[in-house]
Amino acid sequence: MSKVKCDHCNLEFDKSVMIEDKIDGKKRYFCCKGCQGVYHLLREEGLDSFYEKLGDTKLNPAAKKEDDLEKFDLEGFINRYVKKRDDGFYEINLIIEGIHCAACVWLNEKVLHKTPGIIEATINYTNNKAKVVWDPEEIKLSKIIQTIRSIGYNAYPYDPKLQEERAIKQRRDYYARILVAVFATMNIMWIAIAQYVGFFSGMRRDIKDILNFAEFVLATPTLFYSGWVFFKGAYYGLKNRFINMDVLVATGATLAYIYSLYAMFSKSGEVYFDSVTMLITFILVGKYLEVLGKKQAVDTLDRVLGTIPTEVTVVKNSEKALVLVENVKVGDIIELKPGEKVVIDGVIINGSASFDESSLTGESEPVFKKRGDEVLSGSICLDSVVRYEAKKDFSTSILSNIISLLEDSITKKPKIERLANQVSGYFSITILSIALLTFIGWYFYIGSFEKALIIAISVVVIACPCALGLATPMATLIGIGVAAKRGILFKEASFLETMAKSTILVLDKTGTITKGEPSVITYEKFDDFDESLVLELVKNSSHPISKGVYEFLSKNIKYNQKEIKDFKEIKAKGIEAIIDGKKVVAGNKDFLIEKGIKVDIDNQNSLFLVAIENRVVAIFELNDEIKEGAAEAIEKIKELGIKVVMLTGDNEKVAKKVAKEVGVDEYFAKLLPQDKAKFIDDFHRSGDIVVMAGDGINDSIALSCSDIAIAMGSGADIAISVSDVVLLDESPKRVYEAFKISKKVFKKVKQNLALSLIYNTFAVPLAVMGFVNPLVAAISMSLSSLLVVGNSFGIKLKDKK
Amino acid sequence: MSAGIIAMMLGVSTLLGALGLAALLWGLKTGQFDDTSKFLDAARFDGEEELKDAVLMEEKKKKALEKKKKVMPN
């Protein structure tokens, strides 16, 4: 059978499963009704040039979306997300789901522009956020959302007031400062070249004065506008009794500037305006990269918040009403429909259903809950209608706790940067004290205040800029490169330093030590049968165990398509269907016994039994396998002198078994997200520097509390966004390597600082003795930089061995 | 070369550069570079139709505003 592309989404499927459609005498194929619908719609609207722009990009199939449009017109929803503008129009910020390429942005904007009543629609391609302005008298919000959905995308609102505006403003601010600095540097460079040449070949005094003045004009905005960030940083550092890199940069730049001013007006000596601008520019660019990282974290948090319902169905006197989540009182009866997210904690009083609690416990397996069981907010009701009594109000429920904790932690993060800057801090103090001593020494020796000041300034100027500025960044940059090659992504350079100093490693179980999804470990066949029957059955179920079996079978057998009828999934128990006329039942032991099938097996792992025509024919044994090399990696990490602790939301029994197998001595089980974070705080209190590795939404608070957070590449968006390090291939071995690399880099950083210190002890005496001229300054700066760069490349060389 | 000419050349070229910088800063401030990829794609997709589209949107906005004024004469 040949594969064909769907004409809308470009995904390839077997020809036999595609919907055939004749349009303008040409045969078109679609993978689903949704794609077909969108294709027709775009043709009718005359927007089919979309497909030219799209090219070969693959889209999500245009699945039919749930029917929840009316919620967008509810008052509570509008109050929360819609901004009423002064000119009478309404404005909302949306996140559009399903945008893959520039053509998608084009299509969405085009369609929205064509819709009557919409005044403005702009979509940001990078973060998929859209701003829509409309006339409330002409069109309703639900209609706008419906329009977006009708072309195969989905939209949900977010509250931009939270953090986004601030983040964007900060980013723009930095960008403007960098632009000014880069402009000034580029121009000052060519003036400086003329001056350097003039130093050798001689230059007329009046021309030199003009060049000096031009440099002064360019350096002034750079120091006071672009360099403002450092003055601010230095001020806050000193206020907290802490000398940071900002202090040194600010003092160095300002002193060099003042000295140059003096040299310019007194028409004696050389000016250093070029050093001032270059110093500010290079260090500012480094800072800007940090700001960019923070912005991304904010984007994903918005995504999580946008999916939280604003209203719930409350049943009162057998009447249903939609009530704002904030207005739900303890004791209210709430009705949950399949697919709905729980926002308020409570206890089930009617009905039963499976709940997806993965965002709380990290376990992918749904939990079956019946009358009297507790439902926790943040879980998702999967398969039936349930009524439960609210035991808490919205603000004290787990979900809103998690959100506020996350918001806090993202804004709290900077404390780590302070820690990372410690080494450079010591260095700054040393240089500043040497300069001070030089000043005092010269003042008493020759008694001239002016001469002493100029020499002291030249000490700072010659010692400060390049080598020291490069010592840490250069080593960490190479370290980051080496790590990235192995699939370890450090989001910020300073994290390497923090990680090298860490004393404790906290691991999450599911998804970090174990694979996180059950996979088949043994497969026993009692009878000969067509395995395609089983494959067809499990293909239809989304339960993790079915998925595990599907994965196993699709690798090992040849699949023939079968006809399936009467498919039924019984929550937390099993599945059954009539396939090719045969009754196939599969599930756990109790389920098969319930169906009147004789079973006599006993085993503690998850079992998946298959019966065809009431006879057990096969057994699959599944287990959440421990990742390859986990035990070995943990052993090696312990050798580095780091304590390893495991925290998990799973039960005690499983936790104990896993901990024993991988050699973790300390573990804590049955933890909710906040509990994990509490543990991290406890470790902090006892003076430890904590590295945490995890992957789920349930880990994100703990991750954001820890000093270094390591997230697995396939983990939840939110976990990745609060983390500092991302492991692409998720192997525990990488955690060990991350430790090793960071320790090596930290060693290099120290070496570099020592090197530039030694170098400066040669250069500084020259300055102290008053021998400094532009030539010595230029050579000493570039030579010390070269030394530092060369030494840093040692990280790469050693790595190859 | 006389010092005056050098001063003038330096002054003029720096001023021209500064004008360019000012334009760039203005563009940044009005949010024209907020979305880097879209800003680049604009060069690929922009055409007569996009221009018409933009004009259409502006007219639509004007009409909606006028209608509002009529409804509320005060």
pLDDT in tens, A699-728: 777 887 788 888 876 666 566 666 778 777
Q: Are residues A227 and A338 in the same domain?
A: no
Distance, CA of A371 to CA of A66 (rounded, Å): 27
Q: Are residues B54 and B64 in the same domain?
A: yes
Distance, CA of A608 to CA of A604 (rounded, Å): 12
Question: Are B41 and A218 within 8 A, CB to CB?
Answer: no
Q: Residue A233: CB partners within 8 Å, gap ≥ 6?
A: A244, A246, A250
Question: Are A102 and B41 within 8 A, CB to CB?
Answer: yes
Task: Indicate if the pLDDT at residue A180 is higher than 90.
Answer: yes
Q: Which of B33, B53, B60 sits opposite A119 (nearest CB)?
A: B60
Q: Which residue of A has its CA nearest to B71?
A: A137
Whether residue A51 lies within 8 A of chain B, CB to CB, comes out as: no
Report how many domains make up chain A: 6
Whether residue A172 lies within 8 A of chain B, CB to CB, comes out as: yes
Task: Indicate if the pLDDT at residue A492 is higher than 80.
Answer: no
Q: Are residues B46 and B23 in the same domain?
A: no
CB-based contact A152:A60 (threshold 8 Å): yes
Q: Give residue B20's pLDDT band: very low, low, confident or very high (50, 70, 90).
A: very high
Q: Give residue A359's pLDDT band: very low, low, confident or very high (50, 70, 90).
A: low
Write the DSSP symbol of residue A225.
Answer: I
Q: Give residue B11's pLDDT band: very low, low, confident or very high (50, 70, 90).
A: very high
The answer as to whether A609 is a domain residue is yes
Q: Which of B14, B25, B45 sits opposite A217 (nearest CB)?
A: B14
Q: Are residues B40 and B67 in the same domain?
A: yes
Give the pLDDT of residue A413: 42
Contacts of B3 in chain A (CB under 8 A): 204, 206-207, 210
CB-based contact A108:A154 (threshold 8 Å): no
Q: Are residues B30 and B41 in the same domain?
A: no
Task: Indicate if the pLDDT at residue A565 is higher than 80.
Answer: no
Question: Are B64 and A89 within 8 A, CB to CB?
Answer: yes
The Cα of B32 is separated from the nearest Cα of chain A by a number of Å equal to 11
- Cα angle at A744 between A740 and A746, to 5 degrees? 115
- The closest of A58, A62, A60 to A5, measured between CA atoms, is A58
pLDDT, average across residues A275-294: 69
| Active-site residue, from A299, A356, A383, A508 | A508
Whether residue A126 lies within 8 A of chain B, CB to CB, comes out as: yes
Q: Are residues A510 and A540 in the same domain?
A: no
Whether residue A85 lies within 8 A of chain B, CB to CB, comes out as: no
The widest CA-to-CA distance across chain B, in whole angstroms, is: 72
Q: Which residue of B has its CA nearest to A47?
A: B49
Q: Are residues A15 and A127 in the same domain?
A: no
Q: Are residues B48 and B70 in the same domain?
A: yes
Q: Are residues B56 and B71 in the same domain?
A: yes
What range defines the domain where residue B24 resides?
1-34
Give the pLDDT of residue A217: 92
Task: Indicate if the pLDDT at residue B34 is higher than 90.
Answer: no
Q: Residue B55: CB partners within 8 Å, gap ≥ 6?
A: none
Q: Which residue of B has its CA nearest to A125?
A: B38
Q: Are residues B43 and B30 in the same domain?
A: no
pLDDT for A581-611, tens place per residue?
788 888 877 777 777 777 766 665 667 888 8
The widest CA-to-CA distance across chain A, in whole angstroms, is: 108
Give the pLDDT of residue B17: 93
Q: Where is pLDDT greater, at A349 or A571?
A: A349
Q: Give residue A801's pLDDT band: very low, low, confident or very high (50, 70, 90).
A: very low
What range defines the domain where residue A499 resides?
493-515+627-741
Q: Are residues A190 and A287 in the same domain?
A: yes
Q: Are residues B15 and B41 in the same domain?
A: no
Q: Are residues A316 and A297 in the same domain?
A: no
Write the DSSP symbol of residue A509.
Answer: I
Q: Are residues A510 and A572 in the same domain?
A: no
Task: Indicate if the pLDDT at residue A317 is higher than 50.
Answer: yes
Q: Which residue of B has its CA nearest to A176?
A: B25
Q: Are residues A262 and A291 in the same domain?
A: yes
Task: Indicate if the pLDDT at residue B1 is higher than 70.
Answer: no
A 10 A CB-CB count for B32 gives: 12
Q: Are residues B41 and B73 in the same domain?
A: yes
Contacts of A218 in chain B (CB under 8 A): 14
Q: Which of B17, B67, B68 sits opposite A183 (nearest CB)?
A: B17
Task: Indicate if the pLDDT at residue A333 is higher than 80.
Answer: yes
CB-based contact A533:A579 (threshold 8 Å): yes
C-alpha distances in Å from residue A186, one per residue of A271, A278, A284, A510, B22:
17, 9, 15, 52, 16
pLDDT, average across residues B25-46: 74
pLDDT for A604-655, tens place per residue?
566 788 888 888 888 888 777 788 888 888 888 888 888 888 888 777 777 8
Task: Indicate if the pLDDT at residue A297 is higher than 60.
Answer: no
C-alpha distances in Å from residue A396, one per residue of A158, A390, A419, A655, A705:
22, 11, 34, 29, 21
Interface residue ranges in chain B relative to chain A, Cβ cutoff 8 Å: 3, 6-7, 10-11, 14, 17-18, 21, 24-25, 28-29, 31, 33-38, 41, 44-45, 53, 56-57, 60-61, 64-65, 67-68
Q: Which of B6, B10, B21 sits opposite A179 (nearest CB)?
A: B21
Q: Are residues A510 and A657 in the same domain?
A: yes
Q: What are the φ/ψ torsions at residue A603 (nearest 5 degrees)?
A: -160, 150
Task: Indicate if the pLDDT at residue A201 is higher than 50.
Answer: yes
Give the pLDDT of residue A790: 77
Q: Give residue A367's pLDDT band: very low, low, confident or very high (50, 70, 90).
A: confident
Task: Indicate if the pLDDT at residue A412 is higher than 50.
Answer: no
Contacts of A117 in chain B (CB under 8 A): 64
Q: Are residues B40 and B30 in the same domain?
A: no
Q: Give residue A92's pLDDT band: very low, low, confident or very high (50, 70, 90).
A: confident
The answer as to whether A732 is a domain residue is yes
Between chain A and chain B, the number of residue pairs with CB atoms below 8 A apart is: 80
Q: Are residues B74 and B40 in the same domain?
A: yes
The answer as to whether A792 is a domain residue is no
Of A623, A652, A684, the one marking the end of a domain is A623
Q: Are residues A511 and A657 in the same domain?
A: yes
Q: Which residue of A has its CA nearest to B27?
A: A176
Question: Are A172 and B29 within 8 A, CB to CB?
Answer: yes
HEC-encoded secondary structure of A9-31: CCCEEEHHHCEEEEECCEEEEEC
pLDDT, average across residues A544-568: 76
Question: Are B45 and A187 within 8 A, CB to CB?
Answer: no
Whether residue A110 lies within 8 A of chain B, CB to CB, comes out as: yes
Give the pLDDT of residue A466: 52
Question: Are A207 and B3 within 8 A, CB to CB?
Answer: yes
Q: Are residues A92 and A126 in the same domain?
A: yes
Question: Are A113 and B56 within 8 A, CB to CB?
Answer: yes
Question: Are B14 and A187 within 8 A, CB to CB?
Answer: yes
**Is A508 a known active-site residue?**
yes
Report how many domains make up chain B: 2
CB-based contact A788:A471 (threshold 8 Å): yes
Instruction: Give me the torsion for CA of A77, A79, A83, A85, rounded to 10°.
Output: 130
Q: Are residues B29 and B54 in the same domain?
A: no
Distance, CA of A699 to CA of A409 (rounded, Å): 13
Percent of chain A with pLDDT over 90: 3
Q: Which residue of B has its CA nearest to A214?
A: B10
Task: Indicate if the pLDDT at residue A26 is higher than 50.
Answer: yes
pLDDT for A667-702, tens place per residue?
888 887 778 888 888 888 888 888 888 876 677 778
Task: Indicate if the pLDDT at residue A115 is higher than 90.
Answer: no
Distance, CA of A11 to CA of A5 (rounded, Å): 5
Give the pLDDT of residue A177: 92
Whether residue A314 lies within 8 A of chain B, CB to CB, comes out as: no
CB-based contact A710:A738 (threshold 8 Å): yes
Task: Indicate if the pLDDT at residue B12 is higher than 90.
Answer: yes
Give the pLDDT of residue B14: 92
Q: Give residue A414's pLDDT band: very low, low, confident or very high (50, 70, 90).
A: very low
Whether residue A218 lies within 8 A of chain B, CB to CB, comes out as: yes
The Cα of A281 is separated from the nearest Cα of chain B by a number of Å equal to 16
Phi-psi bin for A759: left (phi > 0), alpha (psi -120 to 50), beta? Answer: alpha
Contacts of A206 in chain B (CB under 8 A): 3
Q: Are residues A122 and A260 in the same domain?
A: no
pLDDT, average across residues A577-581: 81
Q: Are residues A151 and A270 in the same domain?
A: no
Distance, CA of A784 to CA of A479 (rounded, Å): 20
CATH number at residue A28: 2.30.170
pLDDT for A440-454, tens place per residue?
888 888 877 767 776
pLDDT, average across residues A48-75: 70
